[in-house]
Amino acid sequence: MGYIAVARPWGWPCDGLRLKMSIGNPDGMVLYLHNQIIQGLRDRKRAALARAVTLVENGSEHAGHILEEAYKLRGRGKVIGITGSPGVGKSTLVDSLIGAIRERGHSVGVIAVDPSSPFTGGAILGDRVRVRSRTTDDEVFFRSLASRGYLGGLSRHTGDIITLFDAFGFDYILVETVGAGQSEVDIMRYAHSVLVVMAPGLGDDIQAIKAGILEIGDVFCVNKADHPDADRAVAVLEAMLGLNREWQWKPPVLKTVASQGKGVVELLDKIDEHSEFLKQNGLLEERIARSYIAALEDNIRRDTVDYILAKARADGSLDGALKQLSEGKTYPAAVAKDLIRQHLCLEAKIDE
């Protein structure tokens, strides 16, 4: 009877007959629960979304069925990526943007990808605390993902979780990524519009070039405009953008004081303007195609890595390789190629 407690955490009426049929048949029970979750997504039950995200985030083998159904429901929300170095004020800005979006009567889901603490494996608490004020609003949903150290520190399931949020039917999906470098550039491939946040006096102009961030930004925002150096930062950024190339869409540079909500309505207007530009010029499809490519790459990489390591563990070739490495007889790149050849039965040449 333990199943009943599992089936009803979000207070749906219990379907007695189907439940009885499922008890004693774990696979049937799992399917039943998953159908409940999918129906819950359609009915916009927040608890169903929370449950689905947890299953996907934990890499549950049963998540595929939910994702398959979620994929059919997706396609309504604007996916806005928000990126920039730690401390520039992204989370504060997200909080203000939530307010501006709600004032216009739209719903918003927020996904914050945080660097995991190596000690707890949990997401940084600060983000959760800050948005708590809005958690009573039914049209706002916030989820903080631990990054689990996947390739450059991103949550390996971010793309799938965006799909779940989209299936739920949010008007806006804000994805905040922390850190600076290739990993945050990569995650932005899932977004339709990318907002790059900078702050004066943090040397961000230099970092931006390094991270290739100028190329991915659709809208730029110099936050902490209460700082005296803000105008200089805007000027530097505009100069760098202007020299860069011929723009079809010239990314605007805005100033905000997120902590006081200043400039946030204008920022939302620009984000909307960019969405409209994409639609009017047939470019939204390109962005969506970009997100499919990102999803394919991420999934192929993830599944191939898991597969090869599992096979290599099982037949002892991983242990053998580790031993050879520790004895200095080979080097990791060579071992990796051997393992790929061995376990994927590859005849194709791998580039040396």
Residues that bind ligand GDP (CB under 6 A): 86-92, 223-224, 226, 257-259
Q: Is 132 helix (H, G, I), strand (E, B) or coil?
A: helix
Q: How far is the CB of 199 from Mg ion (least distance, A)?
A: 12
Of ligand GDP, Mg ion, none, which one does residue 194 interact with (CB within 5 to 8 Å by kind)? none
Q: Give the x-and-dash track for 54-93 against Mg ion (CB under 5 A).
A: ------------------------------------xx--
The sign of the torsion formed by the CA atoms of 256, 258, 260, 263 equals positive
Q: What is the 3-state secondary structure (H, E, C) of 291-304?
A: HHHHHHHHHHHHHH
Q: Which does 238 bind (CB under 5 to 8 A by kind): ligand GDP, Mg ion, none?
A: none
Tokens encoding 48: 């169903």
211 binds, among Mg ion, ligand GDP, none (CB under 5 to 8 A by kind): none
Residue type, 34: H
Q: How far is the CB of 84 from ligand GDP (least distance, A)?
A: 6
Residue nearer to ligand GDP on the CB measure, 79 or 174: 174
SS3 195: strand
155/59 Cα distance (integer angstroms): 11
C-beta of 266: minimal distance to ligand GDP in Å? 14
Nearer to ligand GDP by Cβ, of 33 and 257: the residue is 257
Rounded least distance, CB 258 to ligand GDP, Å: 4
What does 259 bind: Mg ion, ligand GDP, none (CB cut-off 5 to 8 Å by kind)? Answer: ligand GDP
Q: State the binding partner of 201 from ligand GDP, Mg ion, none, CB within 5 to 8 A by kind.
A: none
Q: Would you call 144 helix, strand, or coil by DSSP?
A: strand
Report how far residue 124's alpha carbon sits from residue 147's, in angstroms, rounded to the nearest whole number. 10
Tell the residue number behind the tokens 């520190």, with chain if given.
153
Q: Does 223 bind Mg ion (CB under 5 A)?
A: no
Least distance in Å: CB of 102 to Mg ion? 20
Task: Say how far apart CA 100 and CA 106 lie, in whole Å.
Answer: 9
Q: Which is nearer to ligand GDP, 29 or 202 (CB)?
A: 202
List the end-to-end C-alpha distance of the chain, in Å, as a whole number: 58
Task: Map the footprint of Mg ion across residues 90-149, applying CB under 5 A.
Answer: 90-91
Residues in the chain: 352
> Which one of ligand GDP, Mg ion, none is in contact with 88 (Cβ closer than 5 to 8 A by kind)?
ligand GDP
Among ligand GDP, Mg ion, none, partner that 257 touches (CB below 5 to 8 angstroms by kind): ligand GDP
Q: Give which of 287, 250, 263 is closest to 79, Cα–Cα.
A: 287
Q: Amino acid identity of 292?
A: Y
CB 199, min distance to ligand GDP, A: 8
CA Rg value for the chain: 23
Contact of 34 with 65, CB cutoff 8 Å: yes
CB of 83 to ligand GDP, least distance (A): 9
Q: Give the closest residue to 113 by CA, choosing from 212, 37, 197, 188.
A: 188
> Residue 108: which of 23, 30, 171, 180 has the closest Cα?
171
Q: Residues in contact with Mg ion, total (CB under 5 A)?
A: 2
Q: Which is nearer to ligand GDP, 52 or 88 (CB)?
A: 88
- Note whether 180 and 85 are within 8 A (CB): yes
Using the minimum distance from each CB to ligand GDP, give the nearer residue, 224 or 274.
224
- Give 84 or 159: the residue with its C-beta nearer to ligand GDP: 84
Quote the least distance from Cβ 131 to Mg ion, whole Å.
Answer: 10
Give the number of other Cβ atoms within 10 Å of residue 293's Cβ: 10
Q: How far is the CB of 177 from ligand GDP (least distance, A)?
A: 10
Residue 335: closest CA among 318, 351, 315 = 318
Which one of ligand GDP, Mg ion, none interacts with residue 60, CB within 5 to 8 A by kind? none
Site residues (CB under 5 A) for Mg ion? 90-91
